[in-house]
Chains A and B, each alone.
Chain A
Amino acid sequence: MMRTTLQIQVTEMFFSVTTERVPARLNRAALFDDLVKQTHRQAYSLAFRLTGNSSEAEDLVQESLVRAYRFFHRYDESLPFSSWLYRIMANAHIDMVRRRGRLRTTSIEGSGADGSSTWDLPDPEASPDRLMLESALDEPVQTALMAMTPEFRTAVLLADVEGMAYEEVAEIMKTSVGTVRSRIHRGRKQLRSHLLKNAPETYRSLCDEL
């Protein structure tokens, strides 16, 4: 189906613009390289929290940057570049997990008020890299994050780790502030119950500390 569509479009493209190639604009290239240098660390950290391991995190950052570059001419400079990049990343991540989930299971839909299921199936590949996570609490938290649906995980990470306001999160996730509010609230409660169940001592000692 998709292949057929693609072929038809490729045919059209072949006859019309195959020989056209946009010449590289040096300024644009240099500007983009600077943005890569400035944003890739923070983007990688978020990507790691989203995916739970370094190789998927690198892939996610890489794919998102390539797409950001291709569509750089449409980038609205009133928005911070990192927000735009996060937007590409967050949606790419959700899209990826959804597609992967669809392959693995027939029905995990339905229990969420906003159309997302409350708990995602744990991904066997998603256990966090032990070496990458330094503090004692980090690993249980990352494991708890990976047990959430990508929508909840993304909303909680953008709000609590990146420190964004609900409106910014809504903008990035292309949804309403009300949905963001619900995802963050339910996401935090899921995290808490996961930690209480799987790492109660670490969690309790940490709460006392805070």
Chain B
Amino acid sequence: MNCKTVQSHLSAYLDRELSGEEMLDIRAHLSECFVCCEEETELRSLKRLLGRLPAIEPSGDLEQRLLAVVGAARTGERKPGRQAPFVLFAGVTACAMAITLAFLSKSHTTPAEATMQSQDIAFEAQRIHDYTGGGDAYGAPIVSAASYAGR
């Protein structure tokens, strides 16, 4: 192995993510090459440094807030505040839908009923958005940019 090849494998070497043969080849090279040995030492320090970064503690009430948000998602309620931009977007879409639908079906809905429908549609809109936002093998969707918009 030449220096270039060795240096490109150094991180994987430190992480023991190479085959036994490759590990031995690199170890042999390091024992006789000062330049690569220095490089290895530096990358090792950096890895240790990252491994020793302290965990960052959340604020004391985060657990309660998260449980509340999950609880709200459970009942289909939407919390105001952070998710407002998407709710607003969904709400506008939903209102337009509700009005259109009300018009098309010539149904007589009171404003309160229309609001209820809007909320239903807003909920469904969010749900559909989740499903269509790109799922992975586990079915976990990617968080939509919409909910980050305007931050």
A66 touches B70 (CB 8 A): yes
Interface size class on chain A is 35 or more
Say yes or no: is A119 at the interface (Cβ < 8 Å to chain B).
no
Tell me the smallest distance from the CB of B41 to a CB of chain A, in Å.
8
CA distance A75 to B58 in the complex (A): 26
Q: Cβ of A60: which chain B residues have Cβ within 8 Å of it? A: 143
CA distance A41 to B62 in the complex (A): 9
B128 touches A13 (CB 8 A): yes
**Contact pattern, B 69-111, Cβ under 8 Å of A = 1, otherwise 0:** 1100111100000100000000001101100010000000000
Partner of B49, one of A92, A134, A184, A206: A206
Interface residues of chain B: helix, strand, loop or mixed (majority): helix
**Contact pattern, B 111-139, Cβ under 8 Å of A = 1, otherwise 0:** 00000010011001101111010011111
**Contact pattern, A 37-68, Cβ under 8 Å of B = 1, otherwise 0:** 10011101100110000101111111111111
Say yes or no: is B66 at the interface (Cβ < 8 Å to chain A).
yes
Partner of B11, one of A14, A49, A65, A188: A188
B53 touches A161 (CB 8 A): yes
Q: Cβ of A58: which chain B residues have Cβ within 8 Å of it? A: 58, 62, 65
Q: Cβ of B54: which chain A residues have Cβ within 8 Å of it? A: 134-135, 138
**Contact pattern, A 80-94, Cβ under 8 Å of B = 1, otherwise 0:** 000010011001100
Most chain-A CB neighbours within 10 Å: which of B51, B58, B75? B58
A161 touches B62 (CB 8 A): no
CA distance A79 to B140 in the complex (A): 13
CA distance A195 to B42 in the complex (A): 12
Tell me the smallest distance from the CB of A134 to a CB of chain B, in Å.
6
Say yes or no: is B32 at the interface (Cβ < 8 Å to chain A).
no
CA distance A40 to B67 in the complex (A): 10
Most chain-A CB neighbours within 10 Å: which of B17, B76, B82, B94? B17
Say yes or no: is A104 at the interface (Cβ < 8 Å to chain B).
no
Q: Cβ of B147: which chain A residues have Cβ within 8 Å of it? A: 63
Say yes or no: is A1 at the interface (Cβ < 8 Å to chain B).
no
* A-B pairs, 3 with minimum CB distance: A92-B143, A74-B139, A160-B50
Q: Could you write out 27 A-B pairs with CB less than 8 Å apart?
A: A6-B125, A6-B128, A21-B76, A40-B62, A41-B57, A44-B57, A54-B59, A57-B58, A63-B143, A63-B147, A66-B69, A69-B74, A70-B130, A70-B141, A71-B130, A87-B136, A87-B140, A88-B141, A88-B143, A99-B148, A141-B50, A174-B137, A181-B11, A185-B8, A188-B46, A191-B46, A206-B45
Query: B-side interface residues toward A, CB under 8 Å?
Result: 8, 10-12, 15, 17, 42-43, 45-51, 53-59, 62-63, 65-67, 69-70, 73-76, 82, 93-94, 96-97, 101, 117, 120-121, 124-125, 127-130, 132, 135-143, 145, 147-148, 151
